[in-house]
A and B are shown apart, each in its own frame.
Chain A
Amino acid sequence: EDKVVQSPLSLVVHEGDTVTLNCSYEVTNFRSLLWYKQEKKAPTFLFMLTSSGIEKKSGRLSSILDKKELFSILNITATQTGDSAIYLCAVEVWGSQGNLIFGKGTKLSVKP
């Protein structure tokens, strides 16, 4: 059975800290891995990763994929209170017609 596991499930840090969120997966016919940020409502897209070792970066957020070890990390540097959210990892497999398998998410709380 395909599965995506995120850790930790929740995390509390202070502003300015750097955090690393983890996502491991066991799927057949991996196509891509996606990261989403969910605040109060709909998840919003952060990154899509398809190739190992290539870092995707957007401001203070960055992510990398290791297809050999079957995991990805999402780094957030110099955290701000606005980074507080649930971060979702999802995997797409070939032949799934675009369906995503989601992990349970990591709830990040950034304290002032």
Chain B
Amino acid sequence: NAGVTQTPKFQVLKTGQSMTLQCAQDMNHNSMYWYRQDPGMGLRLIYYSASEGTTDKGEVPNGYNVSRLNKREFSLRLESAAPSQTSVYFCASRRDNGNTIYFGEGSWLTVV
């Protein structure tokens, strides 16, 4: 049971470099999310997608872009990484009117 799969698990970037975090879910969920988690800050929503072809900003979207490539995949791109984007990133998905959000295992990103 794969659930929500995100890659890479760990990445170190230099300031100004770009990268894309990949996320895929095999549960046929419409809604997908990207969160970041920082010490003492809880989980904060970056972007979400309620369905294929739609994306919306969350609480902290600056410095990020997303693509909902199809129903399964939702990627997060950092165009020009900054040290403030050092964080743990979680992708998640949820079926319509579902009880809970299912999280991926997390991606640890360090920007130096």
Contact = CB atoms under 8 A, between A and B. Distances in A.
Determine the interface band of chain B, counting residues with CB < 8 A from chain A.
Answer: 20 to 34
B42 A42 contact: no
B42 to A, nearest CB: 4
A104 B41 contact: yes
B111 interface: no
B50 A97 contact: yes
Contacts of A64: none
Contact of B31 (A4, A48, A97): A97
Contacts of A99: 33, 45, 48, 58
A15 B48 CA distance: 40
A48 B4 CA distance: 20
Nearest to B49: A97
Given A98-B50, A98-B94, A88 B42 contact: yes
Interface in B63-112: 90, 94, 96, 98-106
B31 A98 contact: yes
A26 to B, nearest CB: 15
16 contacts: A34-B100, A41-B105, A41-B106, A43-B90, A43-B103, A45-B102, A48-B100, A90-B43, A97-B48, A98-B33, A98-B48, A98-B96, A99-B33, A102-B35, A102-B43, A105-B42
Interface of A: 4, 9, 34, 41-45, 48, 88, 90, 97-100, 102-105
